[in-house]
Structure 1
Amino acid sequence: MLVVWTVAILVIAWLTSELIAPPTKTKAGRKPLPGPPGKPIVGNLFQIPPCHSWLKFKEWASTYGPIFQLNLAGRQHIVLSTEKVANDLLRERGTYYSSREFLPMASGIVSREMRPLLLPYNDLWRRTRKLMHQLTMSTAADSYQPVQDYESKRLLISLLNEPRRYEKWFELYASGVIFRIGFSKWIETGEESAVKKIIQVNHNLERVASPGAYLVDSMPVLNRLPDAMAPFKKEGRRLHEEELTLFRELQSDVRRAVEKGYEGQSFTRTFLENQSRYQLSDDEGAYVIGTLFEAGSGTTAAAMMSYCLAMCHFPEWQKKMQDEIDEQVGDRMPEFSDMPNLPTVRAVIKEVLRWRPVTAGGFPHQLTKDDEYDGFFFKKGTIFHPNQWAIHRDPVSYPDPDNFRPDRWLDPKFPTTYKEPLSKFPSLQNFSCFGFGRRICPGQNIAERSLYILTARIAWSGSIFKVKGPDGKELPLPLYDYTKGFNTQPEHFDFDMVVRSQDRHEFIKKSLEEARSRRPE
């Protein structure tokens, strides 16, 4: 059977000439693009690891420089490995560096060209982005703080009681915030059918959109195979039907509630009440809200898991945060209004995002016209990968890059990262971990508030420690053992969390009860 498949693929490739297209030639007078040598026909396709490809890309960057090319079966890909080149191209030239490559499986079969994350830079994307901006701009994000306040208090109780179930608690927090502001629904247990389904949709997307997950996305010619020889088509159609059915149900629930007189606000209600203004169909709007859930739930949870890992390895920074909070806030729980006075808290979570970026490989951009940069020529259609793992480990921008150094955001001795005033900086606004240019994550305002309040309140309430063995010695804990997928988080590790005082524990419980009593239904 394998022989039959191989012959079929090569025959189709020969007929279409898609896989044997030569790499883009360098124009006269232009510098040749460096990059690892590849194999005949497939180029570098099978030299890229199936998971954590960003590590290999960084290794190649050390050899070939901050701009190097890969030939993936005749298709040119460029990897960018410093913040400067990524900003110069993807931000400053965003008009023609903001499209997406069409991925037959992820963009086409699963998303039916409606998921904003995967849309090319076209009119539909601009209309979806307009809606996203309306829902997530700074003033709108401020209005969601009561939900973040309630959900963060609920998380503190769970985390203090059962710290080794932290994955569930962080996912419940992140999903709870976005589910409420997206669909006017509170999550109580995380076991609700709609919640489990939308989290599964999120996991499906991370898997399907991961580089190398499906050969058809690297070799689009395979999409021409008949269904009997392309089982990925059946799987993709099933995934699309599952997610679209769910998105429609959630949208319909909000529509019915509004018709019955429900007054609560949500992403979905804002869309429905302004649908003609955005010129989006019901399904297109449903995918916008679904995408915001995808962007806001998994990433926030993953970042906080890396935060816990960092506190296990670098407890001195936990102590510095606690000292700052005690001095500036005292015994009461930190509030959003305290954040300007807590630069160490902000520096720690920003350093977590640099040290262990959630989207470590970045998300690729596609060039829509020929361009030149620093003596290199890039042909229209070239795919650019901003490799965040390498970008955040550029020693010019981030000295001592492999170490966890929040002081790089607080100390003038680090001129490339330190900014004043400390009442404003460090800030997560437009930080490269959220992407670049016109494709920057639209939910960064909401994510920033979620991460700040969680970091401050966890440090205020308790201390995180490595687990100790029977002999009283700390058990070893890997610095880097991360899951596979587009968004990554640490593989499960155990840690202990000890409440800083019983008074604070009682204060949290009382505060949660009060917040629950005020919670609108």
Structure 2
Amino acid sequence: MTMHAAATSYQPTQVWESERMLYDLLRAPEKYELFFERYASALIMRLGYGKEIESGEEPYARDILKVVHTVERVASPGAYLVDTFPMLMHLPAWLAPFKQEAARLHNFEINLFRELLLEVREKMRNGKALKCFSRTFLERQSEFGLSDDEGAYVIGTLFEAGAGTTAAAMMSFVLSMCHYPEWLKKMQKEVDRVVGDERLPNFGDIPQLPTVRAIAKETLRWRPVTAGGVPHELIKDDVYEGFFFPAGTNIHANQWAIHRDPELYPDPETFNPDRWLFPGYPTYREPLDRFPNLQNFSAFGFGRRICPGMNIAENSLHLLIARMAWATEISKKPGVEVPLYDYTAGFNVQPKPFVFDLKARSAARKKIVDIAWLQNKDTDPLGLAMGSGA
């Protein structure tokens, strides 16, 4: 199954989780971080382990998000002195606090990933395991040639990669709408024209919503989640602008700088989705029922290390942004400043908590959101999403 086809098979779960997110967000918008993180975490938990996250506050949900944020912290270049002075790696563990911390973090991480995988194995013995990545791995483990712990890490790192990044992108989307409200109005006009006012947007509408897709892409350009990029190791000697780099050199593609190249992105500091929608901009491509999209966008990395969940993330961002545009009004709260850039530090970044107003566009639309969730909350999107394989 191709990445695109696999991502399509997960759409029922994304629809289900987006209905839950909208329902709760309209009731408690101040908990937006929890609801964005729960959406992303629950989606990956279902796909990876066939396991549901109900509140987002379950111990295993908080533990795995703790792992996510730990990776974001420790993977940040320069987080430890040993990053600058590699010779410190030769110190014995009792003289190297970073080695002691690494051992503690590894034990916490592998115990969590192992427990989640073995829970699926136990369910398989009882005939109760739902279709998920873990079940597929365990059924084909001899073919893959991986140990339990290796498999646990493969699946666990999918969660690490997917849970925090989608949530962070959605937080930046809300921030952009606070500062550039004219784009929310343009998007709402487009969504209303295509969808009408009697139902929520669905995946079938996305090709007719280029403004939604442009806003998703511009959000990732304007505020890239992995701002410093993922390190790549040169497989051969290279020369760049007169500088020689031997094979084995670690190179960080500075995503922040790439997304601010004025030749490719004129006026790069401005949030401007028009750069994806109108001829005359270097980034314009057509037809607009296909472009803009997030395929092969540098925000997801490069080459062999491009994000394997890119298609799932693209579907999530398009659906969530379209549905929020249809259902909600987002704005600054009168008298309260929303910082233009006040982000966390680390490998992945997201806006620090900020205050804004979010409400339903109308009582009728809120009722439609309520009905959609209350009618579907007891259904089984997991079975629907994974029936064609994971």
Match of 1:499 in 2: 360
Aligned to 1:394: 261
Q: Which of 233, 244, 249 lines up with 2:99 in the alignment?
A: 233
Q: Offset of 1:408 from its aligned partner? A: 0.4
Match of 1:477 among 330, 338, 342: 338
**Within 2, Cα distance between the matches of 1:448 and 1:260?**
36
**1:321-360 → structure 2 map (5 Å cutoff):** 321-331=187-197, 332-360=199-227
From 464, 467, 470, the equivalent of 2:330 is: 464
In the alignment, the residues of structure 2 paired with residue 410 and residue 227 of structure 1 have an alpha-carbon distance, to the nearest angstrom, of 55
When the two chains are superposed, the root-mean-square deviation of aligned CA atoms in Å is 1.4
Amino acid at match of 1:351: E
In the TM superposition, what are the counterparts of 1:54-453 in structure 2 within 5 Å?
137-262=3-128, 264-331=130-197, 332-373=199-240, 376-414=243-281, 416-453=282-319
CA distance in 2, matches of 1:297, 1:483: 16
Q: Quote the Cα distance in structure 2 between the aligned partners of 1:353 and 1:211.
A: 21
The answer on 1:509 being equivalent to 2:376 is no
Mapped contact 2:129–2:135 kept (Cα < 8 A): no
Answer yes or no: is the 8 Å Cα contact 2:162–2:313 preserved in 1. yes
Q: How far, CA to CA, are the matches of 1:351 and 1:358 in structure 2?
A: 12
Q: Offset at 1:277?
A: 2.3
Change (3 A) 1:520 1:446: closer
What is the alpha-carbon distance in structure 1 between the residues aligned to residue 142 and residue 186 of structure 2? 51
- How far apart are residue 312 of structure 1 and its match? 0.2
Q: Which has the higher contact order (CA 8 A, sep 6+)?
A: 2
Is the CA contact (8 Å cut-off) linking 2:94 and 2:100 kept in structure 1? no
Amino acid aligned to 1:354:
R
The TM-score, its normalising length taken from structure 1, stands at: 0.71
- What is the TM-score normalised by the length of structure 2? 0.95
State the one-letter code of the partner of 1:511: A
Distance 1:403 1:508 in 2: 33
Amino acid at match of 1:144: Y
CA deviation digits over 1:201-254, x for unaligned, max 9? 111111111111111132221122233321222211111111101111100111
1:520, distance to aligned residue in structure 2 (A): 5.4
- CA drift of 1:368 comes to 2.3
- The one-letter code matched in structure 1 to 2:135 is R
SS where residue 518 of structure 1 aligns? coil
Question: For residues 339 and 324 of structure 1, what CA distance do their matches in structure 2 show?
Answer: 11
Query: Which amino acid in 2 is paired with 1:501?
Result: S
Corresponding residue SS for 2:377? helix
Amino acid at match of 1:502: A
**Secondary structure at 2:244's aligned position in 1?**
strand
* In 1, Cα distance between equivalents of 2:73 and 2:378: 39
Say which SS state the counterpart of residue 517 (structure 1) adopts: coil
**1:290 and 1:207 mapped to 2: Cα distance?**
17
Q: Secondary structure at the match of 1:305?
A: helix
User: What is the aligned-residue identity percentage?
Assistant: 60
SS across alignment from 2:352: coil
Alpha-carbon distance in structure 2 between the residues aligned to 1:461 and 1:359: 29
Give runs of ≥4 in structure 1 deviating > 4 Å.
373-376
Distance in 1, matches of 2:248 and 2:103, equals 27
CA distance, structure 2, for counterparts of residue 195 and residue 455 of structure 1: 24
Amino acid at match of 1:217: D
Amino acid at match of 2:68: N
Whichever residue aligns with residue 337 of structure 1, its letter is: G
Residues 261/358 of structure 1: CA separation in 2 closer, same or farther (3 Å cut): same
Q: Show the counterpart of 1:22.
A: none
